């Protein structure tokens, strides 16, 4: 148990990053079991049930359960939002569970993810997202000169994002769900062309939106579909 506790402290203090932690826990589920076992009763896990009302519209009903680390990760993966926000939620909650369980260990929670999340809220447009797109955003963030003041870093980041994703004026996708920006074969984000609300035979009565993108070099077009 001491080895698990030591590993969790490394995670809370930033020596183990969230992606590495998640991969490790897939192989060593006892880490999450230990975290669950030490959690104070004040920590809870909220799960969301999807149902339909009498008119067929989707309803999302939350249910609070005792804290369960594995279940929390599973539920967090289902939420709408970027990877950084999900990673922050996992790191913050798990770190606080650990600190509460071992108050005399002087655990210093790493704030790097929180700082990055706050920066991205200010600097990154909410319509930019998707697994590959977020990798490019991360690379862009890392390339910013560290010596610049925050306001100048935000301004430079916004300019570079718009250039990287070919954003002109207010022409960008209004996503129905989480952003799913497609990437061309050459690793460059595709250019957004248009979106159209549809209801077709293929999906019977379900309303959906088609987002049309185009590769700026090859001309290849790709459609992303999202449903209400």
For residues 11 and 75, membership in a common domain is answered with yes
Instruction: Give the integer Cα–Cα distance in Å for 37 and 48.
Output: 23
For residues 148 and 82, membership in a common domain is answered with no
For residues 96 and 116, membership in a common domain is answered with no
Which pLDDT does position 57 carry in this prediction?
Answer: 67
pLDDT band at 79 (very low <50, low <70, confident <90, very high): confident
Confirm whether 107 is domain-assigned.
no
For residues 94 and 134, membership in a common domain is answered with no
For residues 88 and 13, membership in a common domain is answered with yes
Reduced to 3 states, what is the DSSP secondary structure of residue 226? strand
CA 175 from centroid of its chain's CA atoms: 15
Domain boundary residue, one of 149, 164, 179: 164
For residues 94 and 130, membership in a common domain is answered with no
Phi, psi (degrees; rounded to nearest 5) at 166: 60, 45
Reduced to 3 states, what is the DSSP secondary structure of residue 91? helix
Domain boundary residue, one of 101, 125, 141: 101
CB 47 within 8 A of CB 63: yes
Confirm whether 123 is domain-assigned.
yes
Chain mean pLDDT for the chain: 90
For residues 77 and 142, membership in a common domain is answered with no
For residues 35 and 56, membership in a common domain is answered with yes
Confirm whether 69 is domain-assigned.
yes
Q: List the structure tokens of 160.
A: 């570079």
For residues 64 and 118, membership in a common domain is answered with no
Which residue segment(s) compose the domain that 89 sits in? Answer: 2-101
The H-or-E segment that residue 192 falls in is: strand 191-198
Nearest to 43 by CA among 69, 17, 24, 20: 69
Confirm whether 89 is domain-assigned.
yes
Confirm whether 135 is domain-assigned.
yes
Confirm whether 176 is domain-assigned.
no
pLDDT band at 53 (very low <50, low <70, confident <90, very high): low
Q: What is the tally of structural domains in the chain? A: 2
Nearest to 123 by CA among 148, 150, 146, 154: 154
- Over residues 180-223, the pLDDT tens digits come to 999 998 899 999 999 998 876 565 667 889 999 999 999 999 99
Confirm whether 214 is domain-assigned.
no
For residues 118 and 83, membership in a common domain is answered with no
For residues 8 and 88, membership in a common domain is answered with yes
DSSP string, 135-180: HHHHHHHHHS-TTS-HHHHHHHHHHHHHHHTT-BTTB----SSS--
DSSP conformational letter for 170: T
Domain boundary residue, one of 76, 101, 126: 101
CB 196 within 8 A of CB 209: yes
Confirm whether 217 is domain-assigned.
no
For residues 88 and 134, membership in a common domain is answered with no
Report the share of the chain in percent with pLDDT over 70: 94
Residue 123: pLDDT above 70? yes
């Amino acid at each position: 148990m001491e080895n698990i506790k030591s590993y969790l402290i490394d995670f809370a203090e930033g020596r183990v990053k969230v992606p590495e932690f998640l991969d490790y826990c897939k192989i060593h589920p006892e880490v999450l079991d230990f975290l669950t076992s030490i959690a104070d009763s004040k920590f809870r896990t909220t799960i969301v049930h999807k149902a339909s009302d009498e008119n067929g519209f989707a309803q999302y009903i939350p249910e609070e359960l005792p804290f369960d680390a594995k279940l929390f990760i599973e539920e967090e993966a289902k939420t709408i939002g970027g990877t950084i926000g999900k990673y922050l939620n996992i790191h913050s909650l798990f770190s606080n569970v650990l600190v509460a369980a071992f108050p005399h260990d002087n655990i210093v929670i790493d704030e790097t993810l929180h700082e990055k999340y706050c920066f991205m809220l200010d600097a990154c447009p909410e319509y930019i997202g998707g697994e590959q797109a977020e990798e490019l955003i991360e690379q862009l963030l890392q390339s910013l000169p560290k010596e610049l003041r925050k306001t100048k870093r935000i301004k430079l980041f916004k300019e570079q994002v718009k250039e990287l994703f070919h954003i002109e004026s207010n022409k960008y996708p209004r996503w129905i769900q989480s952003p799913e920006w497609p990437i061309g074969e050459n690793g460059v984000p595709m250019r957004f062309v248009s979106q159209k609300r549809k209801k077709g035979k293929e999906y019977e009565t379900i309303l959906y939106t088609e987002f049309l993108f185009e590769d700026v070099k090859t001309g290849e077009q790709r459609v992303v579909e999202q449903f209400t």
